[in-house]
Amino acid sequence: MHEVRLHATGDLRLETAPQPVPSQDETLLRVTAVGVCGSDLHWFREGGIGDATLARPLVLGHEFGGIVETGPLAGQRVAVDPAIPCGHCDRCREGNTNLCPTIRFAGHGGQDGALREYVAWPTALLHPIPDSVSDVGSALLEPLGVAIHAFDLGHVRLGATVAVVGCGPIGLLLIQVARAAGVNSVLAVEPLAHRRHVAVERGADSAVEPGSDPAAALAGVGVPAGVDVAFEVAGTDDAVAMAMRLVRPGGRVVLAGIPDDDSTTFPASVARRKGLTIAMVRRMKDVYPRAIRLVETGRVDVDSLVTDRFPLPEAPNAFASAAARNGVKTVIVP
């Protein structure tokens, strides 16, 4: 089979490898779609993410779906949870599998991901999808799951007001999740004009540039005192500061972006004087069933976010396109 491995910063190579043989607890999948995520771009551009660095050639890709090749589910289309927790530690037993200290994650560290034609993956982490969810849609269920988990951490109440700072794929999915959950208004902040346009199409009441006056932006959505919850999904200090300026005193700020240099700073006086609660997003929990239902029922549209598709041999071009942010979502179709 063919696969794509990252050998060094910017060095993606198409290679051949034996087809994987699934263990007793695994299932063999033919991969149908892989989304290129911002965290993949960290590996591609920086050779790592956070404190994890490239120790050997790595197959990237954690947003993916496929068709089951063997076993009782043969022929079934599935979305794949890329996180393999231990299932036995205190964090797993309390329901916080995303915080498992020994978790293995597709395309991260020593765990190869999905940029290949076939993958053997734990059967328990496969989620059958209905015909109404497309192949590329199955790959976007993972970023939708992150958006759902971030929204959960926001403790958003019915009729609340929110801001989404950063309208890449997860930010745009957050806007749709917020609308599906019954928020009253959504303010989007995004530097790229084409993504501001999509933000409004997907449910934002207003979309402004990062340099906009926060007071004017809030007045534009009818909440001069500030939104109840602000979601930062850009990974920059400026985005964090903007989120804190947009939220009301006593409000909540959810940080989902991943900074390039593994550090985040913010104006302490703003956060302190407003008495803000800050929550950090670590991937997601077991939200795939909810994500599938949102797409199946049409309350969240994932397919319209896919603007660029590439075959597996053109993975370097796919990563270059995603890094340039000319579109919204890049998907590789093995």
The predicted-structure confidence for 13-34, as pLDDT tens digits, reads as follows 999 999 999 999 999 999 999 9
CA atoms lying within 13 Å on the CB side of residue 253: 27
Q: Is residue 262 part of a domain?
A: yes
CATH number, position 229: 3.40.50.720
Cα–Cα dist 158/20, whole Å: 47
- Tell me phi and psi for residue 81, to 5 degrees: -80, 120
The pLDDT of residue 260 is 86
Listed residue (149, 152, 148, 151) closest to 163, CA to CA: 151
pLDDT value, residue 71: 85
Residues 220 and 325 in one domain: no
User: What range does the domain containing 272 cover?
Assistant: 146-280
Stretches in the chain below the pLDDT threshold 70: none
Same domain? 119 vs 188: no
The verdict on residue 70 lying in a domain is yes
Residue 39: inside a domain: yes
- Answer yes or no: do 273 and 315 share one domain: no
Percentage of residues in the chain having pLDDT higher than 90:
96
Rounded to two decimals, the pTM is 0.96
Mark whether 186 and 100 lie in a shared domain.
Answer: no
Whether 257 and 314 map to the same domain: the answer is: no
Is the four-CA dihedral 280, 283, 284, 289 of positive or negative sign? positive
Q: Is the residue at 27 inside a domain?
A: yes
